Structure 1
Amino acid sequence: MSVELNHTIVHARDNRESAAFFADLLGLEITGEWGPFVAVALSNGVTLDFATVPAEHITPQHYAFLVSEAEFDAAYAKISERGITHWADPHQKQPNEINRNDGGKGIYFLDPSEHAMELITIPYGGWPA
């Protein structure tokens, strides 16, 4: 068996709020709840398991998601409609812009627990030849 990422735990101020925010934004579904976790499954079988922890225990992380152009456009429309601040760069110097890195589209924004989320339509360095 090859090594694959199966799931990761995402610390949140409110596990349901963060899972719902993420699932709604990307057109995904909450796929399970057990113990302290609310899971959202990605198309490659990996789940993000959101867990409520005290705010002082949350270390902001970076999560990058490769999405199709249609998924990007749908998510971007929701981000714009909801007035969610976003940036073209990870240093938050280009507010409310989209980057065009590697010929695709990309943005950064914060989730309800202030994790840095990134959406890109082309992987860094472009698609392999």
Structure 2
Amino acid sequence: MAQVRYLVRDVDRSIRFFVDLLGFELRQQFGPAMAILARDDLTLWVAGPQASAARPMPDGRQPEPGGWNRFVLTVEDIEATVARLREAGAVFRNEIITGPGGRQVLVEDPSGNPIELFQPA
């Protein structure tokens, strides 16, 4: 089982986004600091500002949400998924694009972390 950690600004808001909009299940929550979510064989740890993962590095760099690294969620109907997310107010970094393997789009979680939605060809 793959585990991914995302730094988030608000754990409760992130739980609602991943559970209500992307079909994850809440497995465990540690107050406002962290939660463990799961979907299929992916376990997602969302770590808020109070989590140990958000502490400054020895060189002073501060971990923060965002960036371009992401996990990929395979969806059956990308058009319907995007429509449902847009209706809920989700932010997209691009429009659906088509490549040799299928169609994809990047949606952001409430903290700006990207998730790639992918529909195989």
Asked if these proteins are the same fold (TM beyond 0.5), I'd say: yes
Deviation string, structure 1 residues 93-125 (Cα, Å, up to 9, x no partner): xxxx21112252211122111112211123xxx
Equivalent of 1:16 in 12, 15, 33 = 12
- State the Cα RMSD in Å: 2.6
Corresponding position of 2:91: 85
Corresponding position of 2:59: none
Structure 1 regions of 5+ residues with no counterpart?
89-96
Q: Tell me the amino acid that sits aligned with residue 63 of structure 2.
A: H
Structure 2 regions of 5+ residues with no counterpart?
55-61
Moved over 3 A (4+): 54-57
Q: How many residues align?
A: 109
Q: Would you tell me which structure has more strand in proportion to its own residues?
A: 2
Gap change, CA 1:113 and 1:83, over 3 Å in 2? closer
Deviation string, structure 1 residues 44-100 (Cα, Å, up to 9, x no partner): 1x3111111168531424223231324x34431222213433244xxxxxxxx2111
Equivalent residue of 1:119, what SS?
strand
Partners of 1:16 and 1:50 within 8 A in 2: no
Equivalent-residue separation in structure 1 for 2:4 and 2:93 (angstroms): 25
Corresponding position of 1:93: none
Identity %: 28
Give the structure-2-normalised TM-score. Answer: 0.71
Gap change, CA 1:87 and 1:58, over 3 Å in 2? closer
Corresponding position of 1:114: 112
Give the structure-1-normalised TM-score. Answer: 0.67
